[in-house]
Structure 1
Amino acid sequence: MIKRIIAYRGFIYESIKRDFQAKYMNSMLGSAWAIINPLAMILVYTLIFTNLMKARLPGTENEFSYSIYLCSGILTWGFFSETLSRTCNIFIENANLIKKINFPRICLPITAALSSLVNFSIVFVLFILFLIVTNNFPGWSFLSFFPTLFVQLIFSIGLGVTLGLLNVFFRDIGQLLGVSLQFWFWLTPIVYLDSILPEQILKIVELNPLTPLVKAYHLIFIYNEHPDASSLIPTAAIGLLLCYSGVYLYKRCAGEMVDEL
């Protein structure tokens, strides 16, 4: 399967390129919106929480601490939710293509995930520029960001492919995902510190596979520390298991998929 995906790398590249161009087609500013929207979000968070609310994290004197805490969590959550939403619906959205052209269908969720990664990369570069301008770049701990993001990507793709295949046969899954993501967001310590939670709620939050990822990002960007690799092992293991289940379902359901679409 990997060899077939590599063989269709040109198809994947062109699909990502076409998706990016279509997103900003017929707009006067074109792809500039990919920079304007996240830049506006970062500026708004900085203005509100730093200047108006004077919000700061306990134990830090940095006036931008809560803005960085919020942005690092929301940006990576946005990447996760976009990847999951797109991969969950990718087979249904490309039903006509699947019926007309013979190609490895598994290329579609990979294309969706990589396209989300491109969008995230643009936003993340702006966030890094913000950290540099405000003299808050994390230093050497920044290198830990990449393996942490890789774990998140594996988890997102595995869950997205599995749900995407199931969504072909059980359409309620796509609708349920939108509702689930709203609850999932608030069960992830993005806008709050988990130290303020009651013990019963904290136990639920700690079971969330995204919690160690978000905490790792906070350690990197707020406290300039390398996260403990062992804390990411459960999420990585779940991600690999989901990737395996996605490939297994794909092999079992690829022939029936066309009929259901």
Structure 2
Amino acid sequence: MMGMIQALWGYRGFIAGSVQREFQSNYKNSMLGAAWTVIKPLAMIIVYTVVFSQVMQSKLPGLGNEFAYSIYLCAGLLTWNYFSEAVNRGQNVFLENANLFKKVNFPVLSLSVIALANATVNFAIIFSLFIVFLVASGSFPGLVFFAIVPVLLIQVLLAFGLGLTLGILYVFFRDVGQLFGVVLQFWFWLTPVVYPLSILPTWAQQLIAYNPTTSIATAYQTILVNARMPDWYSLWPVTLLAVVLCVLGLRLYQKHASEMVDEL
């Protein structure tokens, strides 16, 4: 395990350069450039706000802020988009870069790190603008905002572990990518991103509580909408799952790295 970390550290220049090159290439001949990173999630937020705001605004008890539902939606949707992008990139990264690691000798695991870093750059851009909106609208939660850091770290671990595990399985079983695309669509609607958990019947709340991203989404929303600390105890199961997936992904990589080249 330490050997892999040391190998990645030795290739930190390659990782940073790859992230920079992809970001530049994505917007090289684009008039709007990095603005496209913002336009797509912004359009989605506007659609959901228009469709659901009148219904959901009354479902967020104790909140007099006129932007309450928009903040609730952004807190869930922006972080969900980051999670899904990071996992999808991690899942596809080995197949997309098959020619690269067939020809060049370098730690293949760095491709997973690059995929996660690229998703993180996109998230940082859009979330920075969201912070500006919070400040401008007088909705910034204060010092409790920094409680986001451990929640984000848990989400990053979960996305990396799941993306790495799926990425390796995808090399050997091509149905994995198609199946996960379907699962991700159901996963989104089973996570309280658009709707508050409190509007569901008790049996549905109990069922959705087993969804690992429920506690993460709820934590973000508690911090950003209610300006309160999240329920840290509820985050322990997803933290454990994230660690297990990271260990599983790294074990699969150690065991099957040489075979992956033959399968691609």
Name the TM-score class by shorter chain: over 0.9
Residues 97-155 of structure 1, C-alpha deviation per residue, up to 9 Å, x if partnerless? 01111110100011100110000000000100111110000101101001100000001
Question: What is the match of residue 251 of structure 2?
Answer: 248
- Unpaired runs of 5+ residues, structure 1, are none
**Does residue 1:185 correspond to 2:192, yes or no?**
no
Please say if residues 54 and 63 of structure 1, whose CA atoms lie closer than 8 Å, have aligned partners that are also in contact. no
Question: What is the match of residue 178 of structure 2?
Answer: 175
Displacement of 1:177 after TM fit?
1.0
C-alpha spacing 1:10/1:236, structure 2 compared with 1 (3 Å): same
Question: What is the match of residue 18 of structure 2?
Answer: 15
TM-score with structure 2 setting the length: 0.93
Show the 5 A alignment for 1:110-189. Answer: 110-189=113-192
Question: What is the match of residue 87 of structure 1?
Answer: 90
Please say if residues 45 and 77 of structure 2, whose CA atoms lie closer than 8 Å, have aligned partners that are also in contact. no
Please say if residues 170 and 177 of structure 2, whose CA atoms lie closer than 8 Å, have aligned partners that are also in contact. yes
Which among 28, 33, 39 is matched to residue 30 of structure 1?
A: 33
Residues 13-36 of structure 1, C-alpha deviation per residue, up to 9 Å, x if partnerless? 111111111222322222233344
Please say if residues 45 and 67 of structure 1, whose CA atoms lie closer than 8 Å, have aligned partners that are also in contact. no
TM-score with structure 1 setting the length: 0.94
Give 3-state SS (helix, strand or coil) of 2:128's partner: helix
- Unpaired runs of 5+ residues, structure 2, are none
Question: What is the match of residue 215 of structure 2?
Answer: 212
Structure 1 vs Structure 2 CA RMSD: 1.8
Question: What is the match of residue 55 of structure 1?
Answer: 57
Cα distance in 2, alignment partners of residues 210 and 88 from structure 1: 18
State the AA in 2 paired with 1:169.
Answer: F
State the AA in 2 paired with 1:142.
Answer: F
Higher deviation after alignment, 53-62 or 14-23:
53-62
Question: What is the match of residue 234 of structure 1?
Answer: 237
Name the % identity.
52
Please say if residues 131 and 137 of structure 1, whose CA atoms lie closer than 8 Å, have aligned partners that are also in contact. yes
Please say if residues 91 and 177 of structure 2, whose CA atoms lie closer than 8 Å, have aligned partners that are also in contact. yes
Cα distance in 2, alignment partners of residues 207 and 131 from structure 1: 30
Question: What is the match of residue 109 of structure 1?
Answer: 112
Cα distance in 1, alignment partners of residues 29 and 166 from structure 2: 32
Give 3-state SS (helix, strand or coil) of 1:102's partner: coil
